[in-house]
Structure 1
Amino acid sequence: MSRTTALRVTVWNENRHERQNPRVREIYPEGIHSAIAGFLTEAGMAARTATLDEPEHGLTDDVLNGTDVLIWWGHLAHGEVRDDIVAKVQRRVLDGMGLIVLHSGHDSKIFRALMGTSCALKWREANEKERLWVVAPGHPIAAGIGESIELEREEMYGEHFDIPAPDELVFASWFEGGEVFRSGCAYERGSGKVFYFRPGHETYPTYWHPDVQRVIANAANWARPVDRERPVYGNARPLEAIGAKTGKGGEAE
Structure 2
Amino acid sequence: MNALLNAVDTTPVTTNVLLKDTTKVANVAVGTTIALTNMEANRINWEQGAYRTSNQALYAVLGDCLAFCGDLTLPEAKQRSESLESFYKDRGYTYKKDLPLATRVVRAVFGSRDRRRISTYSLVIRQAMKEKVLITDFSAWVEERGGVQEISLGKSATYIKPADKAEIAKNNLKGKTPIGYAKSELLSHVADAQYLGDMCVLLAEQQADGSFGVYAVLRQDGLVKSAFTSLYALGKEIEDKAKAEIKAANDADGAVAKSA
Taking structure 1 as the reference length, what is the TM-score of the superposition?
0.20
Identify which of structures 1 and 2 has the higher relative contact order when contacts are C-alpha pairs closer than 8 Å and 6+ apart.
2
Greater Rg over alpha carbons, structure = 2
Structure with bigger strand share is 1
Taking structure 2 as the reference length, what is the TM-score of the superposition?
0.20
Structure with bigger helix share is 2
